[in-house]
Structure 1
Amino acid sequence: MAENNHQAGEKAYASPYGRVDEEVASVAQKNEKRKKRVKCFTYVAVFIVIQSVIFMIFGLTIMKVRTPKFHVRSATFGAFEVSTLDTNPSFNINMIADLSVRNRNFGQYKYQNSTVEFFFRGTKVGEARIVRSRANARSTRRFLATVDLSSAGVPTEVLANEFRTHALIPLTSRSTLRGKVEIMKLMKKNKSTNMNCTMEIMISSKQLGNISCR
């Protein structure tokens, strides 16, 4: 009986620190879980930011569609008949133009059939046919186009004055090339490019020079 009373007394006077330790341990576990959740949320937020930056860079570089450039680079000549006489000025020239389509995109540029028109002081003097083809990604496609230049439609006084002042034939080339840029088979976008070039045929040397394209 005495022993039972002794045990009951021990229980009655048990130390309160056991319950405090349990509460401290519970708070520590909750803090640990909260830290893990915060760390997890931080990792997710960092991942989302990194992905956003990657997609932004991807959109501003690879997925951005730029207008191709269509230019006259040079030319050689076949038949070359030029009369600089004031009474009967004329020219009939066979020109083989070296043209280029520069594609700055990360996907190929497929363009359709087209023509390049050549003008002398605003009068059309010839045209060259362009056959449909494509320029590969980040590359320049070069090809030849033949055009017969004739002064038949140019007023005699305009041509005579030009030959009297300069020993050359000024030309302007214009064209619109219509096509489609295809990037990684994920995106296709219609894109047209305009040619606007000026050049001069040197009569004495039979060469094309002073080429300038915009």
Structure 2
Amino acid sequence: MAEKTNQQVYPLAPSNGNPRSDEESNTLQSKELKKKKRIKLAIYIAAFAVFQTIFILVFALTVMRVRTPKVRLGTDVTFSKLNTDNNETSPSFDITFIAQVRVKNTNFGPYKYDSTTANFKFQDVNVGRVTIPEGKAGLRSTKKVSVTVNVNSDALKITSSNLGNDFKNEVLTLNGQAKFTGKVELMFVMKKKKATEMNCTMVINLTSKALKDLICE
């Protein structure tokens, strides 16, 4: 007895058909992940480049920038001799004092300066001078040099009347000037020549025999 078979036959999928949907999803996720990694890497590289540029710029404007040192007289002036003669015809003075010359260096490297001469004047006439030896102001520090100065009125015979006017006010005004030349050394490699000047006006109180005022430009 023949049996009748009632079965439905389904065709096989072709061997070269499209991948399954889950495989497509995994591939897309992998590509998206790689894309995000590349974007992150690009962001990190850009951020590092910006940071490096800012660092180099700040370094150049601060550490590697060479500033001109400043030279001033200190206010701690001590008088060891202060003789004055308020003669109406020929007033005179003979003064010795100890002052402090301060070389302020704000650079990130030492400032080595040569020996120089400081002149002290009364109304543009030289009345005294002192030699300041060569030295070095360390990085971002102030070098203090004590000097003993003698000033007298020997060169003021022609302008003695002007001196008499000062004496009437019981003061003596002097101007101290000096020019420093030297080099700033950075990173033990770069050396930059720098010249600076001292220009200070000091007012001496002849009654109290003390410094009344000091103005430095």
User: What range describes the TM-score normalised by the shorter chain of this pair?
Assistant: 0.7 to 0.9
Which position in structure 2 is the counterpart of 1:81?
Answer: 83
Percent identity over the alignment is 38
Of 93, 103, 108, which aligns to 2:95? 93
Q: Which residue of 2 aligns with 1:68?
A: 69
| 1:202 maps to 2:186 | no
Equivalent residue letter for 2:47: V
Deviation at 1:11, TM superposition (A): 5.2
Which residue of the partner structure matches residue 159 of structure 1? 163
Aligned with residue 131 of structure 1, among 117, 130, 133: 133
Residue type of the alignment partner of 2:198: M
Whole-angstrom distance in 1 between the partners of 2:123 and 2:106 = 32
Aligned counterparts of 1:20 and 1:187: Cα–Cα separation in 2: 67
Offset of residue 83 of structure 1? 0.7
- After superposition, the C-alpha distances for 1:150-188 in whole angstroms (9 at most, x for unaligned) are 211122222223223x11110111111111112221432
Deviation at 1:19, TM superposition (A): 6.4
1:1-214 matches, within 5 Å, as: 10=12, 12=14, 16-18=17-19, 25-73=26-74, 74-154=76-156, 155-164=159-168, 166-214=169-217
Q: Secondary structure at the match of 1:212?
A: strand
Q: Which range moved further: 30-39 or 135-144?
A: 30-39
Larger deviation, residues 30-39 vs 127-136: 30-39
Distance 1:36 1:186 in 2: 43
Q: TM-score under structure 2 normalisation?
A: 0.84
The farther-off stretch of 73-82 and 26-35 is 26-35
TM-aligned CA deviation for residue 138 of structure 1: 1.6
Q: Distance in 1 between matches of 2:81 and 2:19?
A: 110
Counterparts of 2:189 and 2:36, CA distance in 1: 42
In 2, Cα distance between equivalents of 1:162 and 1:11: 119
Residue 3 of structure 1 corresponds to which residue in structure 2?
none
- Tell me by how many angstroms 1:28 deviates: 4.2
Question: Helix, strand or coil: the match of 2:89?
Answer: coil
**Hey, what's the Cα distance between the residues in 1 that align with 2:208 and 2:165?**
20
**Secondary structure in structure 2 of the residue aligned to 1:66:** coil
User: Which 5+ residue runs of structure 1 have no aligned equivalent?
Assistant: 1-8
Number of residue pairs matched by the alignment: 206
Q: Which has the higher helix share?
A: 1
Which range moves more in the overlay, 17-26 or 140-149?
17-26
More off after superposition, 126-135 vs 202-211:
202-211
* Distance in 2 (alpha carbons) for counterparts of 1:135 and 1:94: 27
Q: CA deviation at 1:136?
A: 1.1
Deviations 1:126-160 (A, max 9, x none): 11111010111121111111222021112222222
